[in-house]
A and B are shown apart, each in its own frame.
Chain A
Amino acid sequence: MRGAVSIKGTREGLTITLEQGEFGALIAELEEHLKTQGAFFRSAKVALQVGDRALDQEQLGQLSELLARSEMTLRTVVTSSADTQRAVNALGLRLLEPTSAEGETASTIPGSDGLEPEDRPAPARPVVTAPAPIIRPGNGQEGSRGTLVRRLVRSGQVIRHTGHVVVIGDVNVGAEIIAGGDIVIWGRLFGTAHAGAMGDDNAVVCALDLTPLQLRIGNHVARPGEEARPTRRSPEVAMVRDDAIVVQLWDTLGRFGV
């Protein structure tokens, strides 16, 4: 069973919602989410939404421990169940009553230096330049939230956001941009970029000079830097096609949009 666990970025950090279903299965699904996206969520503070589900102390402890293994902190539990509320209080967590106006604003998750995800997705085929562009209409990301970074992103610096990330400036080798949505670099991308970091294969990475150390989209990985490249580059867009990351010249795409 899938879809019983959802994870969203909020102003305070992350909200994880557990829908109906057997507890063991929910735990397994959450574990699966964290395995593929754990690197992105690292160091986040979590609010857990459990609706009217009755959870005891042991079950809440189990959830907290699971999150802690991905270096996330369970801070808050949102529940209307009296049993769960008792367990929350016993564990000293913050308790919230469910409200209809639960914020869904994407926000920057505080970055941590030296991110080194243990759970890297399996490397996909290396980047190839696709011959003919396959143009689709917008990927449904229009209008969702993003953040603008207007500076040179240097080695060791990490920009993390649950929405889109736009950088005006170069992204140097050793720097990382991790976005839940698309990544647009008005500059040269030499570092590492991960678009669709919460598993969205429709995300794209655009740069004026797209020569990253490593590129990830959704669960795909490419290492474009391994073959010799010409010194002068033109703007390009990277996207997932046929289960591999491909890079296309903006010239061939620009008229249609990505």
Chain B
Amino acid sequence: MPTRVITVTSGKGGVGKTTTTANLGVALAKLGQRVVVIDTDIGLRNLDVVMGLQNRIIYDIVDLVEGRARLRQALIHDRVEQELYLLPAAQSRDKSAVSPADLIQVCTQLRGECDFVLIDSPAGIELGFRNAVAPADEFVLVTTPDYSAIQDVDRVLGILEAEGRIDTRLVVNRIRPELVRRNDMLSVEEIVSRLAIPLLGVVPENEQLLVANARGNPVAHDETSLAGKAYHGMAQRLLGADVPEAQDAPERNGLFAWVRDALRERGGFLARRGTG
């Protein structure tokens, strides 16, 4: 199967791009996929921290594109997963240190060598974003239920669609079911209806995630945790499995019964898109 290059992006900062990238990387690796995650947030690198690999960095992406390191030297092996590698961003430079052509070049080298390349995009729609989306075949858009985050994803979708890049999927983070029920937060259903792209998965607001990020130990390592389940569902869906969200949010937790409904809605939505 050819390598799939997927960029994780959002427009807005702080909605969970890096957390999504790290956890999708872990979850895909657990499913036996060979995965390389790339941090393109040059000057503000974080992916290494979330993955707990910051003390292993010797070379970074700028060293690679400027010829100081070969690809094999710059890739950092994950502490846990055998088939997961990180290409870290540089911390001392800025976005202009690499170009979209450089990223395409790096991904060309990776194609055929692994199953997935996941690119963690910086916030914004400027050069850093341009770098991150240049080599991608597919896109994972990350939002929270905030109007500002949704509007920014909408803007990014407009930019991508204008370039004919329509293989896009949505991850909704930080959903708080009790607020949705009180009508104080947009529902997943409403968010999907406004953005009109297929839903990849939903991650409820979750303390585990914050702790996991601080410890550099992505929740997806623990497949039994609530958020871990959510990411495994997403990974399986990326591989084409028809996994209902209900599996991510077990019956015993009545709070998440509504997520099932949202995903049922998603099934219908996808079916309509398919025939339309």
Is the pairing of A and B real? yes
**Chain A residues packing against B (C-beta within 8 Å):** 152, 154-157, 170, 172-174, 190, 231
Measured between C-beta atoms, what is the minimum distance from B270 to chain A in Å? 17
The 10 closest A-B pairs by CB, nearest first: A154-B158, A155-B154, A155-B155, A156-B155, A154-B154, A155-B151, A172-B154, A174-B151, A173-B151, A157-B158
Bound: A231/B183 CA distance, A: 10
* Interface set, chain B 132-186, CB cutoff 8 A to A: 147, 150-152, 154-155, 157-159, 161, 183
Tally B residues with Cβ within 8 Å of A: 13
Bound: A207/B150 CA distance, A: 22
Q: Is the CB of A155 within 8 A of B158?
A: yes
Q: Is the CB of A172 within 8 A of B151?
A: yes
* Among A156, A157, A170: residue with most chain B CB under 10 A: A156
Bound: A170/B151 CA distance, A: 13
Measured between C-beta atoms, what is the minimum distance from B11 to chain A in Å? 9
Bound: A204/B150 CA distance, A: 29
Q: Is the CB of B161 within 8 A of A154?
A: yes
Q: Is the CB of B154 within 8 A of A173?
A: yes
Bound: A32/B234 CA distance, A: 57
Measured between C-beta atoms, what is the minimum distance from A250 to chain B in Å? 21
Q: Is the CB of B157 within 8 A of A173?
A: no
The answer to whether the Cβ of B212 comes within 8 Å of any Cβ in the partner chain is no
Other A-B contacts than A173-B147, A174-B151, A174-B154, 4 sampled, CB-CB below 8 A, are: A155-B155, A172-B154, A173-B150, A174-B155
Measured between C-beta atoms, what is the minimum distance from B145 to chain A in Å? 14
B 182-204 binary contact with A (CB < 8 Å = 1; else 0)? 01000000000010100000000
Bound: A82/B164 CA distance, A: 50
Name B148's closest neighbour in chain A (CB-CB).
A173
Cβ contacts A to B, 15 pairs, < 8 Å: A152-B196, A154-B154, A154-B155, A154-B157, A154-B158, A155-B152, A156-B154, A156-B158, A157-B158, A170-B196, A172-B194, A173-B147, A173-B154, A190-B194, A231-B183
Q: Which residues of B contact A173 (CB under 8 A)?
A: 147, 150-151, 154
Q: Which residues of B contact A231 (CB under 8 A)?
A: 183
Measured between C-beta atoms, what is the minimum distance from B42 to chain A in Å? 25
Q: Which residues of B contact A172 (CB under 8 A)?
A: 151, 154, 194
The answer to whether residues A170 and B194 also contact, given A156-B159, A231-B183 and a CB cut-off of 8 A, is yes
Measured between C-beta atoms, what is the minimum distance from B104 to chain A in Å? 25
Measured between C-beta atoms, what is the minimum distance from B226 to chain A in Å? 29
Measured between C-beta atoms, what is the minimum distance from A248 to chain B in Å? 25
Bound: A155/B196 CA distance, A: 13
Q: Which residues of A contact B151 (CB under 8 A)?
A: 155, 172-174
Q: Which residues of A contact B159 (CB under 8 A)?
A: 156
Measured between C-beta atoms, what is the minimum distance from A48 to chain B in Å? 33
Bound: A37/B157 CA distance, A: 30
Bound: A230/B152 CA distance, A: 25
Bound: A231/B155 CA distance, A: 24
Bound: A174/B147 CA distance, A: 11
Q: Which residues of A contact B196 (CB under 8 A)?
A: 152, 170
Q: Which residues of A contact B194 (CB under 8 A)?
A: 170, 172, 190
Name B153's closest neighbour in chain A (CB-CB).
A155
B 45-59 binary contact with A (CB < 8 Å = 1; else 0)? 000000000000000
Q: Which residues of A contact B161 (CB under 8 A)?
A: 154
* Among B147, B151, B152, B157: residue with most chain A CB under 10 A: B151
Measured between C-beta atoms, what is the minimum distance from A143 to chain B in Å? 32
Q: Which residues of A contact B158 (CB under 8 A)?
A: 154-157
Q: Which residues of B contact A157 (CB under 8 A)?
A: 158
Measured between C-beta atoms, what is the minimum distance from A150 to chain B in Å? 12
Name B183's closest neighbour in chain A (CB-CB).
A231
